[in-house]
Amino acid sequence: MRKYYPGITLFKLVGSLLVLIAHIMLLHYMTLLPGQQLVQFTSLALRNVVPCFYVVAGFLAYKGWTHTARRSAYMKRYISRILLIYCFFCLIFVGQNIVPMLISDGLGFGNVFLQIKIIIVAVFLTGPFIQFWFIPPLIFGMLAAYWLVQKQQIRLAFIMALSGFVFIQFISGSLMNVSGINAESFPFLDAAYAEYLILFTTRYIGFGLTFVIAGVLLAKYEDVFLQIRAIPFLITTVLFSLAETLLLIRFSEWSTDYKLAFSVLPNTLLLFYGILRIRSNAIQTYHKFFSRFSLVTFFGHILFIQVNRYMLGWTSPELNMAQNFVLLFITLIQCIAFTALFSLKFKYFKTRQTKNISS
């Protein structure tokens, strides 16, 4: 029987709410704070929510496939479900962005080729909506981790994850200034393609591969991981993060090219350590609803926001604070309502299935 982790349910719930708030107002208002270099480097060192989602995904996937007799069938079903939802939103993206451009600018070779490039970038790199960049690296990391574990290459998986993370530090992390690698380092590529290459490497290797494998390894060695003493772990991580932030402020100039600091890895492991230690009967009682709400919020909030802005006639790129709070409230209510509808649907089909079995 699989073990239940209330902390993971709570993390997914809080994480989905943070993503919702961030995309409506938080990211914008952070840019208005004074002392941007300190704000941004501190947030860089503490930017562990997204990596922790990858860790959670790898952790739960490992727990899932090791508790089933048909591991390959489990993984195929797991990946297929993600791809089905992802393709649905890709079709919406095509309908919103590609089709109108094909209609307005015609079906000439240049325009068709441009729209194909936009689709490729959206599907494999940026995502059809802002939050969906998370999905392709997740699938890549999951397939790589599953293959390595099935081949009993645990040590190789650890080496690949750690080496990939260190490598990314020279591309878009703390050592970026040391290496001097940027879009101009690839003279044989157009600057835009070089930036895409750097971003692709960062997301697939630095995020997807590193942290999904970390989650899988933590699931495999869960008992050993939980034996770590909390206070020394916390002190070490905080001191490391503080030292790195101060060094970055001293020797680096802030730019959005920074994606992953060294301290993100220990911070993420510390966060996940705390998540595994959470115990709550209340969360366990409502975990199905919370889990569905988290999924609905993550996948649907941008679409809800777009519809709400259109219905309210708020076409300006920037809204005032009152409008942001109204938009947040309406979108949150919609996420709750859709979650309730999905819950009723699952309950209805479960009742029908029970009646069919009994008859």
pLDDT at position 27 is 79
What long-range pairs does 146-154 form, CB within 8 A, spacing at least 24? 146/61, 146/65, 146/71, 146/75, 148/213, 149/62, 149/216, 149/220, 150/71, 154/217, 154/220
Rounded (10°) angle between helices 154-172 and 191-201: 140
Q: Which residue has the higher pLDDT, 269 or 41?
A: 269
Amino acid identity of residue 23, one-letter, is: H
Least confident of 55-64, 92-101, 231-240, 242-251: 242-251
Residues of the chain with pLDDT > 70, as a percent, come to: 96
Give the SS3 label for residue 309: helix
Report the chain's C-alpha Rg in angstroms.
22
Q: Is the pLDDT of residue 214 over 60?
A: yes
Provide CB contacts within 8 A for 18, sequence distance 6+.
26, 49
How far apart are alpha carbons 166 and 164 in whole angstroms?
5
**pTM for this one?**
0.91
Task: List, for residues 34-53, the tens digit of each pLDDT value.
Answer: 777 777 877 787 789 999 99
Q: Where are the domains of the chain?
A: 1-32+280-359, 45-279
- Residue 6: pLDDT band (50, 70, 90) is very high
Q: How far lies 102's CA from each of 90, 106, 124, 125, 186, in Å?
A: 16, 5, 21, 22, 32
Q: Is the pLDDT of residue 272 over 60?
A: yes
Among candidate residues 164, 47, 132, the one with its CA nearest the CA of residue 303 = 132
Q: What backbone phi and psi angles, to 5 degrees, belong to 116?
A: -65, -40
- Residue 357: pLDDT band (50, 70, 90) is low
- Residue 203: pLDDT band (50, 70, 90) is very high
How far apart are alpha carbons 124 and 138 in whole angstroms?
11
Least confident of 96-105, 256-265, 324-333: 256-265
Task: List, for residues 299-339, the tens digit of each pLDDT value.
Answer: 999 999 999 999 999 988 888 899 999 999 999 999 999 99
Task: List, for residues 104-134, the tens digit of each pLDDT value.
Answer: 998 999 999 999 999 999 999 999 999 999 9
